[in-house]
Amino acid sequence: MNKFKILALGFIAIVLFLSCEKKVGKLASTSTTTTGAPPAGLVCDSVKYNAHIKPIIMANCAVPGCHVSGFSSGDFTTYAGLNAKITNGKFKARVIDANPGPMPASGQLSQSKLDSIQCWLNSGALNN
């Protein structure tokens, strides 16, 4: 009888742990604008790679030990390297959708930075 109680408690603990993890992931993925509509107050045509997006990428992604030249998960120090991850969908999945987890590793970007990136992506992610 005692073994049954221990197994039942263990099973309940695992179920609770897994359900909490899914809720956290769901909240993280719905906290950004992914509908294709520009965020309120942001004119997407005004968001440019060199003026707005590149500084965000260089300060948060292309840092030592992360997305720099020779890094196996992509070199974001160049537009071409970043564009490769945009084209295959991995950039949006990790940065905007936080799936399977948020990037950068230091923590999800601010909502205003995410909105700017989403606008730029919606506008074709041009090298402008």
Kindly report, residue by residue over 10-24, the tens digit of the pLDDT. 555 564 444 443 333
Report the range of poorest mean pLDDT among 24-28, 97-101, 109-113. 24-28
The pLDDT value given to residue 91: 94
pLDDT tens for each residue of 53-64: 999 999 999 999
Per-residue HEC secondary structure of 50-118 comes to HHHHHHHHHHHCCCCCCCCCCCCCCCCCCHHHHHHHHHCCHHHHHHHCCCCCCCCCCCCCCHHHHHHHH
Give the confidence band of 42 by pLDDT, cuts at 50, 70, 90.
Answer: confident
pLDDT-based confidence at 31, cuts 50/70/90?
very low
